[in-house]
Amino acid sequence: MIDDKLLKYFEGYLTDKRKKLFKKVLEDRTRHFTVVLEDIFQPHNASAVVRTADIFGVQDVHAIENKYTNKVSRHVAKGSQKWITSKRYKTDGNNTKICLDSLRDKGYQIIATTPHNDSCLLQDFDITKKSAFVFGVEAEGVSDYVKEHADGFLKIPMVGFTESLNISVAAAIILQDVTTKLRNSNVNWQLTKEEKETLYFDWVKKTIKNVDKIEAHYLSKLNK
């Protein structure tokens, strides 16, 4: 539940231009598609995908950490990590299973991105269904568990000698294609009013330096 009075107080620390930008960006945010990174160990790759998700309006990124820790390079991400909602799966159990089960519970179909089987070509992909695109570890690709439990497979058409793309490049191509088609469709892809309000409040707080001290000062005045 958003404290409207506290939000209004925080907004006093932002310019009108900043507030308008937040609201404009929120209109293009979506949870119809989401991204899953499975055991990505190169920080520049994970960071580039986060940056791509922000650029194309995909709000959530899920990081599975079975073998490797998912790290974000601020130099590569360019601050985009602040505006994305990230969830990490790093328990001692089967983190891939936990992640995929959680996404299915939210209504997502699991789409493994891989060029090594009879995958659906990107241009033929059905964008009407909520989809979680899984990108696997560098060189090896998605795990056998993902391949066995995916609802579908997706690949980018290639006509050269090289059989695969860098993960960050593949993510950029796929997200640009599917989000462009999504916005030109009749699918109800935008965030709900409540989701927008929650993210707006979060972004406002992230913009303000020493926000915890400012909030404490605000609350102390209320208690007087």
> What DSSP line would sit under 131-164, residue for residue?
EEEEE-BTTTBS-HHHHHH-SEEEE----SS---
Q: How far apart are CA 2 and CA 11, in angstroms?
A: 13
**pLDDT computed for residue 71 by the predictor:** 66
pLDDT, position 140:
81
Terminal-residue alpha carbon distance, the chain: 24
Mark the ranges of the chain whose per-residue pLDDT is less than 70: 70-78, 224
Residues 6 or more apart in contact with residue 22 via CB below 8 angstroms: 200, 203, 204
What is the pTM for the complete model shown?
Answer: 0.92
pLDDT of residue 77: 57
Instruction: Tell me what pLDDT residue 6 has.
Output: 92
pLDDT in tens, 40-96: 878 788 899 999 999 999 999 999 998 877 666 565 556 788 999 999 999 878 999
Residue located via tokens 């695969």: 164
Are the beta carbons of 129 and 178 closer than 8 angstroms?
A: no
For residues 53 and 62, give the distance between their C-alpha atoms in angstroms, rounded to a whole number. 11
- 119 secondary structure, DSSP code: P
Rg (CA), the chain: 19
pLDDT computed for residue 70 by the predictor = 67
